[in-house]
Amino acid sequence: MVTSAHVWSIDSDGVHVMVGEADGEGRESRCYRAAAVVLATGAHDRVLPVPGWDLPGVYSAGGGQALAKGEGVAIGRRVVVAGTGPFLLPVASSLLDAGCAVAGVFEAGRAGHLMRRWTVRPWELLGQPAKVLELGRYGSTLARRRVRYATGCAVTAIHGGQRVEAVTVSRLDASWAPRPGVGETLDVDAVCLGFGFSPRVELALAAGCRLDDRHFVMVDAQQRTSVPSVFAAGEITGIGGVDLALCEGTIAGHVAAGGRGDDSVLRVERRRRKVLRAFASRLQGAHAIGPKWTDWLNDDTVVCRCEEVDVARLRSVVETSESLSLRSLMLQSRAGLGSCQARICGRTVEELLLRTIPSHRLVGEGSIDRRPIASPVRLGEIAQSRAFEVEG
Ligand SMILES: Cc1cc2nc3c(=O)[nH]c(=O)nc-3n(C[C@H](O)[C@H](O)[C@H](O)COP(=O)(O)OP(=O)(O)OC[C@H]3O[C@@H](n4cnc5c(N)ncnc54)[C@H](O)[C@@H]3O)c2cc1C
């Protein structure tokens, strides 16, 4: 096993890896040529922009969770957690454990919608007692600690001078448009925002794998992608939690190593995968992002924080450019060209541009997930690279 290894590219020569601490001195460059490749690059938090989300004190839900649970760090004295999905509950629970006061958990989905989607085919939930109990545990922790949990609400503005001082919480309609005049201000010094996860598919795209219309890598029952000998598992094929990722990884690894997807040794994983995928699609249905969230943006709301591109800039590029391609519009606006390479803002920029551009003007494929270099690498390291083959 090779640790501290960063795959920075996949091409016809093979899988290019830098071995050594990220951005450290003396990293070793390798190129692996393997008979099969299993991709399991995971996902990162999706955060929808809100006026003021570029203030210090705003965290992604995953970032807040990692600091609170992993490091025991209290990210603020009084924190709100907002967004959508059951992940908000463990985040709030970890914040409490780390010593934060949680001023509220605000789920954007409305209660009726959540209830309908969560209880569709209720017998399937019986196959998931552990997940249901886990959620129940978080719910009872919040209730015991008297943390307010509200549905159909979102943080629609974050206020402060040098850092977060308060938030506006608005009630939303069914499409997530804020209802005028129905809002409140809460004094807080930190905010956690989480709207699900976006898959990290740059390596899959570099390998030529086909994505579905939600940008996940398409796989068959054996976890094979559209490219022969390239397999995918975990969050890049759909967001379903750690247990589903483990099942898929076991199946992908077995088949990639020469086994068959229908081998009896995989019986348990196949069954669990089916149940867990059904649970994942229940979550997806219940916590899909509403189309009118963009109503809480202002012209000067920053969309790309790395390059400080705001809503007005995106709109003016669309209005003044003759360009017909999504990618070229992004390049002109500079959105997504900063250090995160559109990992945080890409999906949002794409969505905003697609809404602004008359659809008849768009041409070509414009995936914002295409990044020729998947992890930072120095030019000198590439120049010194030496290839060797791995048997397999
Ligand atoms: C803070 C947090 C808490 C969570 N808590 C829970 C929970 O309580 N229960 C639950 O079911 N799920 C939880 N999840 C989700 C769970 O972690 C994921 O479902 C699961 O880890 C997905 O597995 P994966 O293999 O797809 O991706 P990951 O576990 O994310 O693994 C992907 C790996 O690929 C590596 N990688 C990516 N690109 C490259 C590259 N170019 N080169 C080299 N390596 C690369 C990443 O560094 C990472 O180590 C949580 C997630 C987060 C962020």
Tens digits of residue pLDDT in 268-300: 999 999 999 999 999 999 999 999 999 999 999
CA neighbours closer than 13 Å in the CB half-sphere of residue 382: 9
Q: Please name the residues in contact with 115: beta carbons below 8 A apart, sequence gap of 6 or more.
A: none
pLDDT on residue 213 = 87
pLDDT, average across residues 169-190: 95
pLDDT on residue 119 = 87
pLDDT on residue 358 = 66
**pLDDT greater than 50 at residue 390:** no
Closest atom of ligand 1 to CA, residue 44: 53
Separation of 317 CA from ligand 1 center, angstroms? 35
Supply the residue whose CA is at minimum distance from atom 38 of ligand 1.
41
Percentage of residues of the chain with pLDDT beyond 70: 95
Largest CA distance in the chain: 66
**pLDDT greater than 80 at residue 236:** yes
User: How many of the other CB atoms lie within 10 Å of CB of 379?
Assistant: 7
Percentage of residues of the chain with pLDDT beyond 90: 72
State pLDDT tens for residues 250-272: 999 999 999 998 999 999 999 99
Confirm if 267 and 98 have CB atoms less than 8 A apart. no
Confidence of residue 385 (pLDDT cuts 50, 70, 90): low
Most confident of 28-32, 128-132, 164-168: 164-168
Cβ of 63 below 6 Å from ligand 1: no
Separation of 125 CA from ligand 1 center, angstroms? 24
**pLDDT greater than 80 at residue 381:** yes
pLDDT, average across residues 230-246: 96
- At residue 137, what is the residue type? R
Cβ of 201 below 6 Å from ligand 1: no
Can you give the three-state secondary structure of 322-379, one letter per residue? CCCCHHHHHHHHCCCCCCCCCCCCHHHHHHHHHHHCCHHHCCCCCCCCCCCCCCCCCH
Cβ of 247 below 6 Å from ligand 1: no
Confirm if 160 and 52 have CB atoms less than 8 A apart. yes
Say if strands 190-194 and 197-199 run parallel, antiparallel, or are unpaired: unpaired
pLDDT on residue 389 = 46
Would you give the DSSP letter of residue 16? E
Q: Nearest 5°: phi and psi at 144?
A: -60, -40
pLDDT, average across residues 113-117: 93
Cβ of 239 below 6 Å from ligand 1: no
Mean of the per-residue pLDDT values for the chain?
A: 91
- Nearest CA to 303 among 336, 329, 270? 336
pLDDT, average across residues 213-220: 94
Distance (Å, whole) CA 318 – CA 357? 6
User: How many of the other CB atoms lie within 10 Å of CB of 119?
Assistant: 11
Confidence of residue 362 (pLDDT cuts 50, 70, 90): low
Q: Which of 2, 31, 41, 246 to mutate to test the pocket of ligand 1 (most atoms within 8 A of CB)?
A: 41
State pLDDT tens for residues 47-72: 999 999 999 999 999 999 999 999 99
pLDDT, average across residues 176-180: 95
Distance (Å, whole) CA 365 – CA 367? 6
State pLDDT tens for residues 319-360: 888 777 778 888 899 999 998 888 899 899 988 888 877 665
Supply the residue whose CA is at minimum distance from atom 21 of ligand 1.
242
What structural domains and CATH numbers belong to the chain? 42-297 (3.50.50.60), 299-361 (no CATH)
